[in-house]
Structure 1
Amino acid sequence: MSGLQAYQQGLAVEGHNTANLATQDFVPQSASFNEARPAGTGVTLSTAARELSAAQDSGAAPSGTDPAASITNSLVYKLGFSLSAKVIQAADERLGTLIDIKA
């Protein structure tokens, strides 16, 4: 579940950055995925402002958001969300099989 939530929040960050693509002096955020403590119990997401030097890149928007990176990140987060959902579905199916065997 923590994977689903983290990827959903990552998509929200990229959506926010994309929505403010043309906003002058907007400081885009980046998502950083971290392993939850204790190890192996999930994933957490933290967001931080990106360096303003990104605004000086030739491909960056007036806000400093890099459209190509934002789109790429969105696709990665979408696929990660789908994968996390499939893991939960597989675990649910295995649990159902185990319950059927015990019954």
Structure 2
Amino acid sequence: MNISNNVSSITAHQTLLNTSANNIANVNTDGFIPKDTRITDNAGSVRTNTREADNNGSKRSQTDLAKEIPNEIIAQDATAVNVNVIKTQDEMLGTLLDIKT
């Protein structure tokens, strides 16, 4: 059992959550160009790539709440799933150790 994939997924989704929260916090900041975080699977490990979003030339904040709010929900749900998987793996390992002794 390997929990490193779950831990890397939690870390990646935390980065997504942080980026999204920063974008939402700056929704009323004139000229703000939000960051865009992409999550990818790289040989069994989850990675993030954060970059500045494309500038559309607006003098107002370019934060799109229709994108950011779902990103918050996705990050929350993905973290909860990964935590449950880690708990299940821990319980299974405990059971195996109990059987062995």
Match among 30, 34, 42 for residue 36 of structure 2: 30
Q: Percent identity?
A: 33
Any idea what SS the aligned residue of 2:14 has?
Answer: helix
Root-mean-square deviation (Å): 1.6
Runs of 4+ with >2 A deviation = none
Structure 2 unmatched ranges of 5 or more = 1-6
Structure 2 matches for 1:1-103, cutoff 5 A?
A: 1-36=7-42, 39-40=43-44, 42-53=45-56, 62-103=60-101
Deviation at 1:62, TM superposition (A): 2.1
* Number of residue-to-residue matches in the alignment: 95
Deviation at 1:85, TM superposition (A): 0.7
1: CA distance, partners of 2:98 / 2:46: 31
Structure 1 unmatched ranges of 5 or more = none
Any idea what SS the aligned residue of 2:63 has?
Answer: coil
- TM normalised by structure 1 equals 0.84
Any idea what SS the aligned residue of 2:51 has?
Answer: strand
